[in-house]
């Protein structure tokens, strides 16, 4: 479907702003990648070695304008530089390894939460004022209010440390070699349960609340009354006529929550020592690894803008009335 030039312009401006902030933000932190590399070398940090490090990591003592020009040249050639923490690995190699785990974690949490939240919201609206609604709706508000770090620490202590039902951390058993078999897949599944459950309460609460409000407004429409007049079952009317037409606000809320989801995944990965982008960003910040920090923030920005763009496309597919407006 067609996307308006005005909408594309908004995405372009947002991307340009993100690139500028992405360049400036790491340089506001104390220290530099050169300092970190020199500290790692210790007594081996000769003047020649220090000059070589400066040349390799973009001569951070140059004026900011020249550093920014070099940064844009790197982006134009898809060269994100070399990692300080994981030298001599490139930023692309480091982020490529971490991105797969974060995508798996966030996607699983969103799909699981969307299914649960939409069903709870639809049933709450259908039975509004009843016992189910009076229990689920306040519980959703509580789930939205609890910070992910509290949920992460609680689930880690209760289910991993105390009860020992699940692994304490990592993405899979370190004693296993990655392979396409049931043993490795089962290990990945077990290690992902607690991180997914940590991200899910906030999402389920948001989806349930949004779906309930949207569903209540839809239940008074003529097509829902017609479905009931046809003698269809409650489930057919609830989901076939009501929930299907109440999904647009839920998709809107999903697009707005993507930033919060990535923020929650950073905290979750740090707590569970999960090898995704969150843990990588944390270790890169400690090591003053400018290239990795810049590459990761840019990657997360592109992911958020891309997801919002995809939601714009889905709007037109779900509701034909919005196709010309997107």
The CATH number of whichever domain residue 179 belongs to comes to: 1.10.3720.10
Last residue of a domain, one of 25, 47, 77: 77
Q: Measured between alpha carbons, how far is 306 from 302 in angstroms, rounded to an integer?
A: 6
> Within this chain, do residues 201 and 259 fall inside the same structural domain, yes or no?
yes
Q: Measured between alpha carbons, how far is 315 from 251 in angstroms, rounded to an integer?
A: 8
Query: Could you report the per-residue pLDDT of 100-159, keeping only the tens digit for each?
Result: 888 888 889 988 998 898 889 888 888 888 888 889 888 988 888 888 888 888 888 888
Examine residue 48 and state whether it is found in any structural domain, yes or no: yes
Query: Could you report the per-residue pLDDT of 230-273, keeping only the tens digit for each?
Result: 767 777 777 776 777 777 788 777 777 777 777 778 888 888 88
Examine residue 85 and state whether it is found in any structural domain, yes or no: no
Q: How many domains does the chain have?
A: 2
Q: Which of 3-7, 76-80, 163-167, 177-181 has the highest mean pLDDT?
A: 163-167
Query: Could you report the per-residue pLDDT of 269-311, keeping only the tens digit for each?
Result: 888 888 888 888 888 887 777 788 888 888 878 877 877 777 6
Q: Measured between alpha carbons, how far is 170 from 17 in angstroms, rounded to an integer?
A: 35
> Within this chain, do residues 61 and 207 fall inside the same structural domain, yes or no?
no
Whether the CB-CB separation of 202 and 112 falls below 8 Å is answered with no
> Within this chain, do residues 72 and 95 fall inside the same structural domain, yes or no?
no
What six digits make up the tokens of 242? Answer: 């009501």
pLDDT at 319: 58
Last residue of a domain, one of 24, 55, 77: 77
Question: What is the domain extent for residue 233?
Answer: 91-322
Query: Could you report the per-residue pLDDT of 200-230, keeping only the tens digit for each?
Result: 888 898 898 888 888 888 777 776 767 777 7
> Within this chain, do residues 162 and 241 fall inside the same structural domain, yes or no?
yes
> Within this chain, do residues 156 and 285 fall inside the same structural domain, yes or no?
yes
Greater pLDDT, 17 or 58: 17
Whether the CB-CB separation of 83 and 89 falls below 8 Å is answered with yes
Last residue of a domain, one of 19, 43, 77: 77
Examine residue 153 and state whether it is found in any structural domain, yes or no: yes
């Amino acid at each position: 479907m067609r996307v308006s030039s005005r909408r594309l312009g908004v995405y372009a401006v947002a991307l340009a702003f993100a690139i500028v902030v992405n360049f400036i933000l790491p340089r506001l932190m104390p220290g530099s990648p050169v300092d970190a590399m020199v500290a790692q070398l210790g007594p081996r940090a000769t003047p020649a070695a220090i000059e070589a490090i400066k040349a390799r990591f973009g001569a951070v003592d140059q004026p900011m304008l020249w550093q920014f020009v070099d940064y844009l040249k790197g982006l134009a050639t898809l060269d994100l530089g070399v990692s300080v923490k994981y030298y001599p690995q490139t930023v692309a190699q480091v982020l490529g390894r971490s991105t797969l785990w974060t995508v798996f974690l966030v996607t699983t949490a969103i799909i699981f939460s969307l299914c649960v939240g939409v069903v709870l919201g639809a049933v709450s609206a259908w039975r509004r004022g009843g016992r189910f609604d009076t229990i689920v709706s306040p519980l959703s508000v509580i789930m939205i209010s609890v910070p992910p770090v509290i949920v992460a620490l609680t689930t880690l202590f209760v289910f991993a440390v105390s009860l020992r039902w699940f692994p304490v951390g990592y993405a899979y058993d370190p004693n296993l070699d990655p392979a396409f078999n049931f043993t490795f897949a089962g290990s990945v599944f077990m290690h992902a349960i607690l991180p997914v459950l940590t991200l899910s309460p906030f999402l389920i609460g948001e989806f349930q609340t949004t779906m309930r409000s949207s569903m209540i407004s839809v239940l008074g429409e003529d097509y829902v009354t017609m479905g009931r007049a046809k003698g269809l079952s409650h489930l057919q009317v609830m989901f076939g006529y009501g929930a299907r037409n109440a999904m647009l606000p839920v998709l809107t809320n999903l697009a707005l929550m993507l930033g919060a989801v990535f923020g929650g995944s950073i905290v979750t990965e740090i707590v569970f020592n999960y090898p995704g982008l969150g843990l990588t960003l944390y270790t890169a910040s400690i090591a003053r690894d400018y290239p990795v920090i810049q590459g990761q923030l840019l990657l997360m920005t592109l992911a958020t803008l891309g997801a919002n763009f995809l939601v714009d496309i889905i709007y037109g597919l779900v509701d034909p009335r919005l196709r010309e407006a997107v």
